Amino acid sequence: DAGVIQSPRHEVTEMGQEVTLRCKPISGHDYLFWYRQTMMRGLELLIYFNNNVPIDDSGMPEDRFSAKMPNASFSTLKIQPSEPRDSAVYFCASTTAWVRYTGELFFGEGSRLTVL
């Protein structure tokens, strides 16, 4: 079975540019999460969706960040304009309503973003 698929795997951009990260969750999973990983702050939850609806976006750092989930098989995380401090690895993860009680999230391989 295919796991969580993220693209691009690597992105290098210049400050001020728009960045769009994409995620395809595991089929049948109804929860989708976006995390950001940095050395300083570790894994931070940015936002999560349930049945395509954003439930909690309190972790989104500022208005430059936005996330959408137009359907059950696709989500995007957009940063506009990007800044060097946004450089990090961004992970998408998914899970199902019953699996969540075991605490298991299925992570993608991440998108490494470098903003110059």
Partner 1 sequence: QQQVKQSPQSLIVQKGGISIINCAYENTAFDYFPWYQQFPGKGPALLIAIRPDVSEKKEGRFTISFNKSAKQFSLHIMDSQPGDSATYFCAASPQGGSEKLVFGKGTKLTVNP
Residues that bind partner 1 (CB under 8 A): 4, 31, 41-43, 45, 48, 55-56, 91, 93, 95, 99-105, 107-110
Q: What's the closest the beta carbon of residue 84 comes to partner 1, in angstroms?
A: 21
What are the backbone dihedrals phi and psi of residue 33, each rounded to the nearest 5 degrees, phi first?
Answer: -125, 145
Q: Which of 82, 98, 112 is nearest to 9 (CA)?
A: 112
CB of 19 or CB of 23, closer to partner 1: 23
Sign of CA dihedral 42, 94, 9, 45: negative
Q: What's the closest the beta carbon of residue 86 comes to partner 1, in angstroms?
A: 19
Pairwise CA distance, residues 11 & 18, whole Å: 11
CB of 50 or CB of 81, closer to partner 1: 50
Pairwise CA distance, residues 105 & 63, whole Å: 26
Q: What's the closest the beta carbon of residue 42 comes to partner 1, in angstroms?
A: 4
Check: CB of residue 21 under 8 Å from CB of residue 108.
no
CB of 72 or CB of 99, closer to partner 1: 99
CB of 79 or CB of 92, closer to partner 1: 92
